[in-house]
Structure 1
């Protein structure tokens, strides 16, 4: 499956009042190779393993495969992940016909808030809420796999 996604910084916390769902997420990476990443994620009581391929040059598209796994297995896999574990709350906000997933990070990435929107095709038009800031699609330092290696607090 090919995922088409755009990422943006967030310039206010208004999205919290607009969210219809809020989920706590812990995730780690078993592999952060530039050609592919393998992620383990716990979302409340659900757990997944995900393989993502290399992004297109513009950062909009990449292969993604995901499978649900038992919670206890995900917890064990988090113990052997590379680098640090990502801790965040995801807010889901419906704007027009789309859902923005807004991630508020904690720990070493505290202070970083990123909104993502999945699209059906690259040129798809979508409404932009007032709290949406600068687009960072394709900037790898904002990928969760990179945030586990080079956390936001270490940026200059």
Structure 2
């Protein structure tokens, strides 16, 4: 079973000049129920189907399974998604021995920028880049599946 362990933070300050890569991501949800999500993502003309389970109490760890799809398959599955879509650019920024994924959101979530870092264990230490602000790990409002339903601009 694949376990995803990550921490999430709000971003303030400049980060784009530190990025070594960036991709535009469009994603929708076939299922966005609490405790389980089925996500369809299009990233760089490739598709992905991802299933995530419930988060643990701290919100740091949960089951994740992902499978690459063709672009055509992903586009077909997007038609089955719940209303709403997540549109963002993901920037990859190295800090120490970790890579932070910084997501800049558009559309109804415009103005929101969050960073995630994947870890090998929940107690793993890591260096934080200067643009990292408040930690929001476990705050469901910042889950992409929730941003689709209750966008940042409505808070």
Task: State the partner residue of 2:4.
Answer: 3
SS of residue paired to 1:73: helix
**TM-score scaled to structure 2, two decimals?**
0.98
Q: Aligned residue pairs: how many?
A: 154
Q: CA deviation digits over 1:70-117, x for unaligned, max 9?
A: 101111111221120100000000101000000000000000000000
Secondary structure at the aligned position of 1:54 is classed as strand
Which residues in structure 2 correspond to 1:54-93 (within 5 Å)?
54-93=54-93
Matches within 5 A, 1:2-151: 2-12=3-13, 14-151=14-151
Structure 2, unmatched stretches of 5+, are: none
Give the TM-score, by structure 1 length.
0.97
* C-alpha RMSD of matched pairs (Å): 0.6
Shift of 1:146: 0.2
Which stretches in structure 1 are left out of the alignment for 5+ residues? none
